[in-house]
């Protein structure tokens, strides 16, 4: 009997070690060194859902996007971050175009600005974050692998599923092909909590039809697929939220093409020097999002409204 028990324990140990070894091998298999390889798979961080337990009756999110113009206006940028902190958010969602040229110094500035917010921060990449825009503008992708790896090394993922007791939060990359975009959603479907809100976050709008035109290099900054191509595949989502928007917080509805229902759509973000500045505050409670616009008042020494760099 003792020998059988010992044999059983040894078999279990071998099985566990084998599983661990296999998991390690699987993670190492995705080690891209070219742009094609980078677009052929996903990092473990992208495929591992993150679960947060807040133990609260509501969750507060502050979200914005298109922030790179503020890099030249540090006083105004600081005022914005202070306003975010004053909202006591549980999460901060930064929805794309955080940098302009995708340089290490720009990323250092972004991480420094948001280093002491006290909230968990999640990201969705914009076109500037994953490219060298000066190359793409003239039709070159020579160094795009290097540009995307800069983002990966800083953020850790291009796609992300996060869950808490209120919702499923999916951060997606509209810079990718539609096949890759939809493949990621399909991979994550088994991990959704079906009894919770489904929230979609991206740098660009899915219900507007701005998209890349292969023959026109100057459209590279738009999403890689059309509205009609993508919307029929997003019917599981309750809210579509994007971060490339100026002027004011936008809320509305868009018809679901298959079910006849409606998406609830929200647009947040900031634009260019001289525009009004705000962040969006989202409060989720009882399966409803209440969105409000938080105005940012630049300090007296800011030159944001005169369009001269600080």
Q: 15-24, 74-83, 227-236 — which is least confidently predicted?
A: 15-24
User: Residue 22 pLDDT more than 60?
Assistant: no
Residue carrying structure tokens 């009004």: 276
Assign residue 200 a region (left: φ > 0; alpha: ψ between -120 and 50; beta: otherwise).
beta
Per-residue confidence (pLDDT) for residue 247, from 0 to 100 = 78
Residue carrying structure tokens 């790179």: 68
User: Residue 51 pLDDT more than 90?
Assistant: yes
Confidence of residue 29 (pLDDT cuts 50, 70, 90): confident
pLDDT tens sequence across 121-179: 999 999 999 999 999 999 999 999 999 999 999 999 999 999 999 999 999 999 999 99
Confidence of residue 4 (pLDDT cuts 50, 70, 90): very low
Burial tier of 14 (Cβ tally within 10 Å: 0-12, 13-18, 19+)? exposed
Cβ 59 vs Cβ 284: under 8 Å: yes
Burial tier of 35 (Cβ tally within 10 Å: 0-12, 13-18, 19+)? middle
Domains and CATH numbers, the chain: 39-306 (3.60.21.10)
First to last CA, the chain: 80
Identify any residues that bridge with 280 across adjacent strands, giving them in sequence order.
63, 293
Per-residue confidence (pLDDT) for residue 11, from 0 to 100 = 40
Entry pTM: 0.89
pLDDT tens sequence across 187-233: 999 999 999 999 999 999 999 999 999 899 999 899 999 999 999 99
Pairing of strands 250-255, 197-202: unpaired
Percent of the chain residues past pLDDT 70, beyond the cut = 91
User: Pick the residue with more confidence: 281 or 8?
Assistant: 281
pLDDT, averaged across the chain: 90
Give the DSSP letter string of the chain. Answer: -HHHHHHHHHHHHHHHHHHHHHHHHHHHH----SHHHHTS---HHHHS-EE----SS-EEEEEE---GGGGG-HHHHHHHHHHHHHT--SEEEEES---SS--HHHHHHHHHHTTT--SEEEEE--HHHHS-HHHHTTT--TTHHHHHHHHHHHHS-SSEEEE-SSEEEEE--TTS-HHHHHHHHHHHGGGS-TTSEEEEEESS-SSS--B--TT-GGGTTSBSS-HHHHGGG-TT-SEEEES---SS-EEEEEE-TTTS-EEEEEE----STTS--EEEEEEEETTEEEEEEEE----TT--GGGT---
User: Residue 282 pLDDT more than 70?
Assistant: yes
Per-residue confidence (pLDDT) for residue 67, from 0 to 100 = 96
**CA gap 85, 310 in Å, rounded:** 22
Confidence of residue 308 (pLDDT cuts 50, 70, 90): confident
Per-residue confidence (pLDDT) for residue 310, from 0 to 100 = 81
Determine the average pLDDT of the residues in 51-79. 96
pLDDT tens sequence across 237-272: 999 999 998 878 999 999 999 999 999 999 999 889
User: Residue 8 pLDDT more than 50?
Assistant: no
Per-residue confidence (pLDDT) for residue 14, from 0 to 100 = 40
pLDDT tens sequence across 209-222: 999 998 999 998 99
The 59-64 sheet, strands edge to edge:
120-124, 91-95, 59-64, 278-285, 288-295
User: Residue 307 pLDDT more than 80?
Assistant: no
Neighbouring C-alpha atoms within 13 Å toward the C-beta of 22: 6
């Amino acid at each position: 009997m003792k020998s059988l028990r010992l044999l059983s324990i040894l078999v279990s140990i071998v099985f566990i070690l084998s599983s661990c070894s296999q998991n390690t091998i699987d993670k190492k298999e995705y080690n891209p060194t070219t742009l094609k390889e980078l677009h052929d798979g996903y990092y473990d961080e992208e495929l591992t859902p993150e679960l947060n337990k807040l133990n609260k009756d509501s969750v507060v999110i502050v979200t914005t996007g298109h922030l790179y113009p503020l890099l030249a206006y540090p006083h105004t940028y600081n005022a914005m971050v202070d306003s975010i902190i004053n909202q006591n958010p549980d999460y901060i969602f930064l929805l794309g175009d955080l940098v302009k040229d995708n340089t290490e110094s720009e990323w250092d500035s972004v991480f420094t600005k948001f280093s002491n917010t006290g909230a968990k921060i999640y990201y969705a990449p914009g076109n500037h974050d994953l490219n060298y825009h000066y190359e793409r503008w003239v039709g070159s992708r020579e160094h795009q692998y290097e540009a995307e790896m800069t983002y990966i090394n800083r953020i850790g993922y291009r796609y992300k599923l996060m869950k808490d007791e209120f919702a499923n939060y999916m951060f997606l990359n509209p810079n990718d092909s539609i096949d890759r975009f939809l493949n990621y959603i399909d991979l994550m479907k088994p991990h959704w909590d079906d009894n919770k809100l489904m929230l979609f976050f991206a740098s660009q709008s899915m219900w507007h039809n701005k998209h890349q035109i292969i023959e026109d290099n100057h459209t590279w900054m738009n999403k890689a697929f059309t509205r009609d191509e993508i919307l029929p595949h997003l019917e599981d989502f309750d809210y579509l939220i994007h971060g490339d928007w100026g002027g004011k917080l936008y809320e509305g509805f868009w018809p679901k093409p298959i079910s006849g229902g409606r998406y609830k759509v929200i647009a947040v973000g900031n634009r260019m020097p001289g525009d009004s500045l705000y962040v969006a505050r989202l409060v989720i409670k009882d399966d409803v999002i209440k969105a409000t616009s938080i105005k940012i008042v630049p300090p007296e020494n800011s030159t944001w409204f005169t369009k001269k760099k600080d």
